[in-house]
Amino acid sequence: MNRVYNFSAGPSVLPEDVLKKAQEEMLVYGDSGMSVMEMSHRSKAFESIIQSAEESLRRVMGIPENYKVLFLQGGASSQFAMIPLNLMKKGKIDLVLTGMWSKKARAEAEKYGKVNVVASSEDKTFNYIPELDSSKFDPDADYFYICQNNTIYGTRFPALPETGSVPLVADLSSCILSEPIDVSKYGLIFAGAQKNMGPAGLTVVIIRDDLLGFSKDFTPTMFQYDIHVKANSMYNTPPTYSIYICKLVLEWIENKIGGLEKMSEINNKKAKILYDFLDSSEMFNATVDGSSRSIMNIPFVTGNTDLDAKFVSEAANAGFVNLKGHRSVGGMRASIYNAMPTEGVEKLVEFMKDFENNNK
Ligand SMILES: *Cc1c(COP(=O)(O)O)cnc(C)c1O
């Protein structure tokens, strides 16, 4: 069977070059005589893998020296608890409610303190990023929380909130590495790897130095950032193989793509191909408008649930898989992460045009 075009929201498509390289190195990695999966995380070979992954991430994202990089487990969802357990001092935070993931983050944070929702887009099934009124920001909050790209609804913050001295904490699970960002604008960035960085099982956290050292007394050891910082992400066994694949993905971005400026150009082009078609089609419509549109996750509908289902099924038969929208919004969603080739989006649009003509 041939490889399909996989539009899954996550775990999602990986660069073919990366998979091939992993295949080459599957049985014997370098001069170790074994697979990366089989080696001790304390071995020289693995130490060089994790170090190289971190150095590459630092170069690619331009991470300043006063930020630590952690390779953790537990998924982005563990961060919903880990963040308040480590960053809450006074016990109050600001949060923008833009979907299911920020709602889950709010629920966890509320176990440890007060959450001030400064704006929400729940009134319209989260299909936009709300305007922010800075007079509603609490200048005394422990941190300001956003989910920068909303995987389920296909929205992303067009600009970062101006939070002054309040650290900005952001969930970048579905947009990390998709374009250059200014890391120094954030206090903490986290991302589950399975969208744009590698396989599931790895969660990357980038945290500014001065936010370390404030975990609550009762914070479980495994949930303390300091512990992982001191141990260079090796307090216990890290997700070794996922870190190795992440290293290959980063090398692919650096060497094959040529960095995040270039990555962003490609991603914007891909998204434009699909949005342009959606905006001109009489059958398909994007569910998000204007500057809130994500370039990673693009939801769309026909307005007729039977037709939606027919489309998803025929698309799958034609080799365009995982286009069904999230159960909470319905319709379709094309996740076009870094590893989705431009050709995949072009071919999807051709398929959609044909489908439209055949189902008028
Ligand atoms: C997928 C996703 C999550 C959840 O990630 P897990 O690793 O499954 O916990 C959280 N936030 C965003 C924005 C996501 O896309």
- 252 has catalytic annotation: no
- How far lies 288's CA from each of 34, 271, 304, in Å? 48, 13, 17
Cβ–Cβ under 8 Å, residues 204 and 176 = yes
Q: Which of these is catalytic: 94, 142, 171, 308? A: 171
Residue to mutate (ligand 1; options 174, 176, 177; most atoms within 8 A of CB): 174
Q: Using CA atoms, how far apart are residues 284 and 352, in angstroms rounded to an integer?
A: 8
> Whose CA is closest to atom 5 on ligand 1?
76
CA nearest 99: which of 144, 148, 145, 153?
A: 153
Cβ–Cβ under 8 Å, residues 78 and 203 = yes
CA nearest 192: which of 82, 337, 72?
A: 72
Residue to mutate (ligand 1; options 151, 155, 328; most atoms within 8 A of CB): 151
Residue to mutate (ligand 1; options 101, 146, 178; most atoms within 8 A of CB): 101
Q: Which of these is catalytic: 68, 94, 142, 195? A: 195
CA nearest 308: which of 325, 320, 326?
A: 325
**What Rg value do the Cα atoms of the chain yield, rounded?**
21
At 328, give phi and psi (nearest 5°): -80, -15
Q: Give, for all 360 residues of the chain, the pLDDT tens digit.
A: 899 999 999 999 999 999 999 999 999 999 999 999 999 999 999 999 999 999 999 999 999 999 999 999 999 999 999 999 999 999 999 999 999 999 999 999 999 999 999 999 999 999 999 999 999 999 999 999 999 999 999 999 999 999 999 999 999 999 999 999 999 999 999 999 999 999 999 999 999 999 999 999 999 999 999 999 999 999 999 999 999 999 999 999 999 999 999 999 999 999 999 999 999 999 999 999 999 999 999 999 999 999 999 999 999 999 999 999 998 889 999 999 999 999 999 999 999 999 999 998
Q: Is the CA virtual torsion 195, 197, 200, 203 positive or negative? A: negative
Cα 79 to ligand 1 centroid, rounded to whole Å: 10
CA atoms within 13 A on the CB side of 70: 32
Q: Is the CA virtual torsion 208, 213, 219, 225 positive or negative? A: positive
Cα 29 to ligand 1 centroid, rounded to whole Å: 30
Exposed / middle / buried, residue 290 (Cβ in 10 Å: 0-12, 13-18, 19+): exposed
Cα 207 to ligand 1 centroid, rounded to whole Å: 18
